[in-house]
Every structure is written in C-alpha cells, then in structure tokens.
Amino acid sequence: MIDSEVRAVVDDVRIRQMRGGTIVTHAALSALRSAALKSTTQSKQDFLKELEENAKYLATIRTASVPLANGLRLVLTDVQAAAKQLDTQALKQSVVDATEGFERRLDESIETIAEIGARRLKDGDVILTHSYSSSVIAILKRAHQQHRQLKVFVTETRPELEGHDVARELTSLGIETTLIIDSAVSHFMKDSDKILVGAEAVAANGAIVNKIGTATIAAVAHEARVRVFVAASTYKFSPETMFGELIEIEERDPSFVLGDAETRQLPRLTVRNPAFDVTSPESIDLIITERGVIPPQAAIMIVRETRKLQTPLPL
C-alpha cells in the first residue's frame, strides 16, 4: 500500500511543478523516510515490499529525473543488503541512514561543483542560463562571493516561467541579472560569453536531458562559437543509457500553455507541452561535475565507474 504522505508529495510536485531535480529528490527521499518510520508491518519481507512499492511510486514524479531514480535505487540497494542482518525495526533506521546519506552526498556534490565551476568564470563574464538549476545558481553565487563581476541573462523558461525564480534568487545575491524571453536567445547570444545550464540527466554518450529549449540554445551557441557548460552531479548520470535505454521525456499538462477554457473553445486544436529535450554532446563543450570537468565524450567513464547504480532494480 502506498503511504499517504508519499502520494501527497507526488501530487504536490506535479501540481506546483517543483523546480530542479535536486529539490525533487530531497522531497521524495524525505517522504520515503517518513513512510518507513510510520510503517506498522512486523514482517521484514512485507516491510521491504512496502518500501519498494513506495519507491516505485515516487519514481513516477519525474521520469526524466536521474538523481531521483538513482537516489531511490541506492536506498533500496543499501536497505536490501542490510536486511540480511537486521530486524524490521532496525531496518527503519537503515532507511533513515540511507536516505539522509544520499541527500548529504548530493548536497556536497553541489558545493564541490560550485567551487569547480566558479573557476571557469572570469571577471566580467556575461553568462546566459536557462531553467532552474541548483548547481548553476551555486556556481554563480560562489563566483560572486569570490568578487567576480558577472552579468547574467536568464530566460523566462516558458511555459512555467521558472526563470523568474532564478532571476529573483540571483538579484537577491546582488548579481546583475537581465530576464529575457526565450525566443530572444539568438538576439542576446552575441553579447554572451558562456552558456551555463544544469541537467535533469546525463546519458552515457554525453547528451543531456534538460528543460525544453536547452537543445535550441546550445545549437545557437555552438553556431555562434559561444561555449556551453553543463553543471551536473555524477548522480545525474544515467546507468540505463549505457545499455541502450532511452530517457523518457515527460509531457506536462497542456493547460500550462493554453487554459482549459480556451482549449474547449478550439476542439480541433491539440496542445503539446514536452517538459524536456535532449542536447547532443556535439553542442556541449564541457560538463562540470563534483569529480572535475570532463568533456561530454567522457560521460561513459563516469557511468562505468558507478557500478552500484547499474544494479537493476524495479523502478
């Protein structure tokens, strides 16, 4: 049975379209931890089944979010290994330890990415960014703290306008920020020194999945010879893509694009709202991870090193 808090988190993320894969992962692991602590089952087997069901349901929040899937997978792997020696009550604590441990490592990876990424930004750089990324904001914040004077173009990131949140955060830090409409990217590209974006997922071939519009921006930047930097924790590298699996591109509610009332007045109109797109590795100059800076072609090496994440689990 799916825990009520787990259901509430999934609904809340979908309704509010919570920003960023890292934030969503924290929300999901917190709900899984709470569900485990509230469990009343006495059987170890039933507890593990219950935990797996809740994890599988949480994985549906955002199918393209690899840190979410990897976090849930690691927790299940750790708890299943612990079950060989622990009773049901002790297993609850192992869920707490596993979820909190992954969240801590995820946050630490962003702190390291901020330090490494900030070194790639020069005083006076003009940065263009798209969508909400905890890692991107952390890099810009760290560079600002190191007294680099930056200017940042932030796309609105339609249709959900998460760029407005990015602009608010950057201006609150004292960073000179200009909010632009998505279709003005080509116009402002000539004034930009670097593109800096996050990623929902990184494939084994170095392609990234990120908010819809990223692929277009990267292609325009590539043509204009503006370097494209991607900030992504290694927890966002997808082990499934090493074996030919494709990352599912989520489609969201069409009402974000056109209101339900107006849509009903246009019965022959179809509205599509894909949330993400795929940027080819040829359009990416480098990926900033907590392990250092790599070319997209080296993504396969990161995927191969994450042996534990390659354990097939039913998520």
* Domain at 97, CATH number: 1.20.120.420
Instruction: Give the pLDDT confidence of 116-151 residue by residue, as tens digits.
Output: 999 999 999 999 999 999 999 999 999 999 999 999
Q: Which of 65, 81, 112 is the endpoint of a domain?
A: 112
For residues 139 and 108, membership in a common domain is answered with: no
Whether residue 315 lies inside any domain: the answer is: no
Q: Of 197, 211, 213, give the one whose Cα is nearest residue 250.
A: 211
What residues pair up with 229 in beta bridges, in sequence order? 196, 286
Rounded mean pLDDT, 281-293: 97
CATH number for the domain including 267?
3.40.50.10470
Q: If pLDDT is split at 50, 70 and 90, which confidence band does 243 have?
A: low
Q: Which of 73, 88, 112 is the endpoint of a domain?
A: 112
Q: Of 129, 118, 200, give the one whose Cα is nearest residue 163.
A: 129
Q: Do the Cβ atoms of 237 and 303 come closer than 8 Å?
A: yes
DSSP readout, 149-188?
Answer: --EEEEE--TTTTHHHHHHHHHHHTT-EEEEE-GGGHHHH
For residues 182 and 196, membership in a common domain is answered with: yes
Average pLDDT, the chain: 90
Domain containing residue 24? 4-112
Q: Which of 112, 145, 171 is the endpoint of a domain?
A: 112
Please give the angle made by the CA atoms of 73, 77 and 82, to the nearest 5 degrees: 150
Residue 190, pLDDT above cutoff 90: yes
Domain count, the chain: 2
For residues 12 and 73, membership in a common domain is answered with: yes
The model's pTM: 0.88
